[in-house]
Amino acid sequence: MRLSDDVLLDLMTRFQTEMVKGLGRDTNPTAAVKMLPTFVRSIPDGSEKGDFLALDLGGSKFRVLKVKVSEDGKQNVQMESQFYPTPKEIIHGNATELFDYVADCLEDFMENKNIKHKKLPIGFTFSFPCKQAKLDEGVLLSWTKHFKARGVQETDVVSSLRNALRKHKDVHADVLALVNDTVGTMMTCGYDDQRCEVGVIIGTGTNACYMEEMSHIDLVEGDEGRMCINTEWGAFGDDGSLEDIRTEFDREIDLGSINPGKQLFEKMISGLYLGELVRLILLKMAKEGLLFNGEIATALRTKGKIETKHVAAMEKYKEGLSNTKEILMELGLFPSEEDCVAVQHVSTIVSFRSANLCAAALAAILTRLRENKKLMRLRTTVGMDGTLYKTHPQYAKRLHKVVRRLVPNCDVRFLLSESGSGKGAAMVTAVAYRLASQRKQIDEILASFKLSKENLREVKTKMRAELEYGLKKETQPNATVKMLPTYVCGTPDGTEKGKFLSLDLGGTNFRVLLVKIRSGRRKSVRMYNKIFAIPLEIMQGTGEELFDHIVQCIADFLEYMGIKGARLPLGFTFSFPCRQASIDKGTLVGWTKGFKATDCEGEDVVDMLREAIKRRNEFDLDIVAVVNDTVGTMMTCGYEDPNCEIGLIAGTGSNVCYMEDMKNIEVVEGNEGKMCINTEWGGFGDNGCIDNIRTKYDKEVDEGSLNPGKQRYEKMTSGMYLGEIVRQILIDLTKHGLLFRGQISETLRTRGIFETKFLSQIERSEEFCSNLDWTALVTTALL
């Protein structure tokens, strides 16, 4: 029974392997350690409040509790409880008798507390392995400890309890959560210490739970956030993996139990078995003449005569030896002083082995937590409960010491659950209430972002009307969707060839490209490009500074490519609304996307570029075309697919172009053929036609922008603004106390701090804390 650190480290590795098997969909059916999902997704955050009932079934007594959780600026929990016996005829009877008894006890408690008239939610601590599909459902897999009621296994215990409660017409309570006692322990301690993410019970039985990443739990849909896993570690070794450390005494205990071959790890550890292990060892020693002069008293031959409370008393500091003598004499034995020392030594070895085994399995869980978080060093709290852990004078100290030795890279605080797992069931129920309430409030806040099919049809109809207004000569001046002719009258047909320069201005970066096009059977396009930054002071400086910067970038590129002397045809992608009179002329209607260079609006941007080239006087270029970025997109794709006749940009800004019949374009002469129309749909709604779907957050973002009242549709759809909309929502949620404990940081108050790229990262991330779960919900709703 003496286990070296090497053996314990080996057990750690074995248990980690069993955990992985239990979490896997394909390996779980044959896994000994079942790793049961509990559907508990969050630990308390201190904002829980309300009145709850809790039932605690699983130990030597059954307990009913009334738990009042109040916030009032400080966390406060008030409890009233009553214990009821668990008679053998009930726990070894049938399902109906068991749950009728539980319901009768609950009615008695509610009557005594004068709360039968209240409708209170119940948290049910049920300390046996259950397969859960949701928080208020649990199918019993097998009884453990000394319970063996017939007709309960493979049935939903919550449903059985509800049926029993219905027989009591004046009891108005329903089960909201089914909780294992380890989960209850973790939640109880989690209310006092939010670092608590492990719960361990070492009492009549033994078990542990911990918070696992959803992405690792194959048995439950979803990858976001975490869920508490009830390991059911008592069954570790049921597949034969611990045979090398099990002793003849362990095997004898198992054979004499009510569930032979099951819960083998638990039978080496828990309070239900330690006293019996000591008895069997003492019996063998007496038979071999090593104790009591070889005399074997009736007590040594009687199963259950030595209890775990005796083992604990024998190890009490200073009093242990005298306690040992007293206990042995009460059992009808007449020990010598040497006998007492030997019996005390046996008790020490048996209980020390129990602590060592628990420490090895717990160290495996802590290592998994650290690896899940990708940390070099983990700081965490373990919630502890159970009569053996609490009443044995040496047990806790030994457990703590061995755990810290096995995982030196984990800083562990062991927190005793003062109120038991019953309070934890109430806390699970309180958290479920809080999360449901938060979800409801968040859903209400985000409801304005959820567009019905009817809303979308209305937007479609209004957009169609605005497109028509923009095409007509009479209504075009007042149209919000400007429908600008581009003088691009055809898409590529594959015969294009030659070398061309291209400029692309529209976001925070400016790009210069050399494009080589080959036609014929070996049709190809080769591109060489360089990207240059556009500093904010240039974007919002003077027009002359902006175009001088552009020409400087062109000069750098020409020199880089070694073509400074070549006079190549140039196409200028200018991603801002321009009124064109021909393909090489474009008058800027208005800046968008954060640009605000002066003396540009109302000017021909091609002329401004030519003037800047002249000022530099280093090279000359043949500017053939100015196009919008959507037109550039359509033409690029049109080269690959002749059917392409629409170009759409969803980036820093948002816009679309398409090929329109000339006969419908009243602002341009001619009725033959088609021309590409740059819709400039970002201005859709500037006349108030979509105010019914604009939220208060859209209005706040618009008011804080460089161009209030303009580009309203773009501000609801494009990358320049989505992050800022999320920031406004997060501030509102925090004000409502739904995020960050109601504390708005200075960083969150900073405009533009929440970038749109964060939305992408959040949407694809598998690692959420509870606050990010809500943030992910916000970003999903917004997108």
Active-site residue flag, 712: no
What backbone torsions phi and psi does residue 197 show, to the nearest 5 degrees? -140, 15
H or E stretch covering 314: helix 308-314
Q: Which amino acid is at 765?
A: S
Question: Tokens 């409660």 appear where?
Answer: 165
Tokens of 26: 């394909």
Concerning whether 511 is annotated as a catalytic residue, the answer is yes
Q: Which of 195, 246, 404, 511 is catalytic?
A: 511
66 sits in which H/E element:
strand 61-70
Residues 6+ apart with CB under 8 A from 584: 606, 623, 624, 625, 626
Q: Going by DSSP bridges, is the β-strand pair 569-574/622-627 parallel, antiparallel, or unpaired? A: parallel
Distance CA 608, CA 206 (A): 80
In terms of C-beta density within 10 A (0-12 exposed, 13-18 middle, 19 or more buried), how is residue 284 classed? Answer: middle
User: In this structure, which long-range contacts are made by residues 61-67, counting pairs with CB atoms below 8 Å and at least 24 apart in sequence?
Assistant: 61/85, 61/86, 62/86, 62/102, 62/105, 63/420, 63/422, 64/105, 64/106, 64/109, 65/422, 65/423, 65/426, 66/109, 66/113, 66/115, 66/120, 67/422, 67/423, 67/426, 67/427, 67/430
Yes or no: say if 369 and 377 are a contact pair by the CB < 8 Å rule. no
Catalytic, out of 181, 548, 629, 702: 629
Residue 635 near residue 627, CB atoms below 8 Å: yes
Q: Which of 38, 29, 19 is nearest to 229 (CA)?
A: 38
| Token pair listed for 44 | 């308390």
| Residues 640, 627: Cα–Cα separation, whole Å | 19
CA distance linking residue 385 with residue 353, whole number of Å: 19
Is residue 488 within 8 A of residue 573, CB to CB? The reply is: no
3-state secondary structure string across 179-225: ECHHHHHHHHHHHHCCCEEEEEEECCCEEEEEEEEHHHCCCCCCCCC
Residue 302 has φ and ψ, to the nearest 5°, of -100, 120
The CA radius of gyration of the chain, in Å to the nearest whole number, is 37
DSSP strand E in 600-735: where? 622-627, 646-650, 654-661, 674-678
What amino acid occupies position 52? Answer: F
Residues 6+ apart with CB under 8 A from 719: 650, 651, 652, 653, 756
Q: Would you call 575 a catalytic residue per the annotation?
A: yes
CA distance 749 to 752: 9
Given a contact cutoff of 8 angstroms between Cβ atoms, the answer to whether 507 and 532 are in contact is: no
How many residues can be counted in the chain? 783
Distance from chain centroid for Cα 604: 52
Q: What is the DSSP string of 105-123?
A: HHHHHHHHTT-TTS-EEEE
**Does residue 303 contact residue 364 with C-beta atoms inside 8 Å?**
no
Catalytic residue among 421, 502, 575, 654: 575
Query: Is 358:269 a contact under the CB 8 Å cutoff?
Result: yes
Residues with a known catalytic role? 511, 575, 629
